[in-house]
Chains A and B, each alone.
Chain A
Amino acid sequence: MTSTVSETEYRELSNFLFAEADLLSDHNYVEWEKLLAEDLHYKIPIPQFLEQKGARQIGTIGTDNYNDNIDSMRIRLNLLKNPATTTSERVRSLLNHVVGNVLVSKVSDNEYECKSTITVHRTRFNQKHPTTISGRRTDLIRRTDIGFQLVKRHVKLTQAILMTSNVSYFF
């Protein structure tokens, strides 16, 4: 079931995505974690360049940058909440999450599919130019008694070779 949404719903969901992005840019992982559903599936596969003719896959599972459930996500967040425990964010990066092209459709009584684009600019200590990675997101977002929660996020990155030593942040 997919149906269009009201102006109010569109505004609510857009605001959720904007506020969520703001938390990530602030490294506010305590508050961001509260937006995650217990049945979270957070997945960012690697892109492939294939020719239509003769296209085939390597392996039966595939390769991801991220493939997390709520347990593994909490381990990551616990590291990031305590910067002393992770070299990559001991000194906080400057982050800017830019959200655009928000499209919302209703897929069940309390769940929405939200498509959006995400561009993350990140600058580290002594780095002259930010590292910019962008992607196209498809989210499943659930309305609950305590507000919206992110249930699924699938990101198609527009970069196959990541020009960075690490990605210790989220999209």
Chain B
Amino acid sequence: MLIKESFGPSDFERLVDEENATASRLIFTDQSILDIEQEKVFTKAWLYVGHDTEIPNVGDYVTRQMALDPVILVRAEDGKPQVLLNSCSHRGTQVCGTDVGNTKGFVCPYHGWVFGLDGGLKATADDMDLYEGKVDFKTLDLTKAAQVGSYAGLIFATWNEEADSLEDYLGDARWYLDLFHNRTPEGMEVLGPPQRWVVNTNWKLGAMNFAADGPHAVQVHGPITAATFNVPPSIFRDALVDSPAVSMGNGHNGIFTQIPEVLKDQVPPYLGTYPDLIPVLESHLDPKQTELNRHLLAGVTTMFPNFSSVQGAITFDNESLPVNFLGIRVWQPISATETEIWNWFLVEKEAPQEWKESAAKAGVRTFTPCGTFDQDDAEAWVAINKGISGTMSRKGDINFQMALAYRDKTIPDFPGPGRAYPSNYGEVTEFDVLLEWQKYMKT
């Protein structure tokens, strides 16, 4: 029996069993493990903070979370995004208390200390001379993220000075992120501010589900998929079983579900992307990316640790053609059994306004707390946390052993990089998130 205080690198060796494809239930319920994660994962990895189009102009800012830490994502005077800890260097007060805005700087509401867009301290309360020169004000800037980077409009930050560049961190996953975020020359834009809700579950369950869990899709989403496409759920089971899952490296994973043969006429190519943009998309993406993307029914990925993208094509009237929705989200840990989901929808900048509205509706009706897909997912994750929190029920494992059947079966001639497996049902990519997590926790 593991004693909480004893969790150390060697315990994490045992808590995820790579050979057996299982993980201890404790890693989803134990608060002391979450506390260790905060240091070992969330101050070390690159974390998603916002989209380039959320802060188009100098002085534009949004307030965000990097796990438990409140931060400000702001476009500084040099035009580059900055990520500042939203905590005054004087008493620690949050210096910014709004969701979004434009400003010349941040003024602490407590003593009026003033900080520039780069986090530099500009003024203390009243007169800086009162300190009689005894204080080095250069040490009293707002804390900045050690590195800020962006790829295809997605802005990430890390507290880790020694982290690889974002480019290297994402690595081969960029090839797959392109299918979601880099489809046209102008790229994607967010449709609106983030939607937020709190689910009583561990953040890893959401991150893993989007990395992605094929087998749940028929059980949980079969009826709504059948209702919107007018075919029996078994059609989707077959599509999931026969579609690829990819481990992209560095803990980034996803599935790429292909359109079932019977739906080829119903689902437009490239997941219902705005039709006029298809020629642009085909010339912008690499032919091999196009090959994977052309007949997709759904694509779901998680970039380690907690940033996910989901896209699909859906219609809600059985008449009009399905429209592409692209959702992105962050699984913010609050406690071992509470996760705050931050959720946005995106669309191609080149699309006309009317299409953008359709894309927003397709998103809102599917992957949100009121969405016909999401509302059922969260139900299952909460039930896991309820199911594994007792004295007996937290002993034992969570099981990913479909991986035993699939982990040695890679697709040799797959168009994209990384390791591709032949089934969304394989559980290999979902489990890979925990293998990456284990690497961080063992250090």
Binding site for B on A (CB under 8 A): 44, 46, 48-51, 53-68, 71-72, 75-76, 78-79, 82, 84-88, 126, 160-168
Contact = CB atoms under 8 A, between A and B. Distances in A.
Given A61-B357, A162-B369, A168-B370, A50 B195 contact: no
Contact of A58 (B192, B228, B340): B192
A50 B343 CA distance: 19
Contact of B368 (A62, A65, A87, A163): A65
A62 B353 CA distance: 12
A74 to B, nearest CB: 9
Nearest to A90: B379
Nearest to A44: B370
B100 A50 contact: yes
B395 interface: no
B356 A61 contact: yes
B320 to A, nearest CB: 9
B53 interface: yes
A58 B62 contact: yes
Contacts of A160: 196
Contacts, number: 158
Contacts of A54: 59, 101-103
B375 A166 contact: yes
Contact of B369 (A48, A75, A167): A167
Contacts of A87: 220, 375-376, 379-380
B195 A63 contact: yes
A86 B376 contact: yes
12 contacts: A46-B196, A48-B193, A54-B102, A58-B100, A61-B356, A62-B360, A63-B192, A65-B364, A67-B365, A72-B361, A75-B316, A161-B340
A163 B382 CA distance: 13
A133 B344 CA distance: 22
A162 B224 contact: no
Contact of B353 (A48, A60, A126): A60
B60 A56 contact: yes
A7 B376 CA distance: 44
A144 to B, nearest CB: 23
Contacts of B100: 48, 50, 56-58
Given A50-B100, A56-B101, A65-B195, A88 B376 contact: yes
B262 to A, nearest CB: 20
Contacts of B345: 63
Interface in B90-115: 97-103
Contact of A55 (B101, B190, B356): B101
A62 B191 contact: yes
B124 to A, nearest CB: 22
A86 B226 CA distance: 12
A79 B224 contact: yes
A78 B224 CA distance: 9
Interface string B332-357: 00000000100011000000010011
B189 interface: yes
A71 B317 contact: yes
B63 to A, nearest CB: 9
Given A49-B99, A63-B192, A79 B382 contact: no
Contact of B360 (A50, A67, A86): A67
B317 A85 contact: no
Interface stretch (B178-186, B197-205, B244-252, B271-279): B197-205
B337 to A, nearest CB: 12
B364 A66 contact: yes
A163 B191 contact: no
A150 B330 CA distance: 36
Contact of B375 (A59, A71, A86): A86
Contacts of A59: 53-54, 189-193
A84 to B, nearest CB: 8
Contacts of B192: 46, 57-59, 61-64
A107 B100 CA distance: 36
A72 B362 CA distance: 10
B365 A86 contact: no
Nearest 3 pairs between A and B by C-beta? Answer: A85-B223, A166-B375, A63-B192
Nearest to A166: B375
B4 to A, nearest CB: 25
A79 B379 CA distance: 15
B232 to A, nearest CB: 13
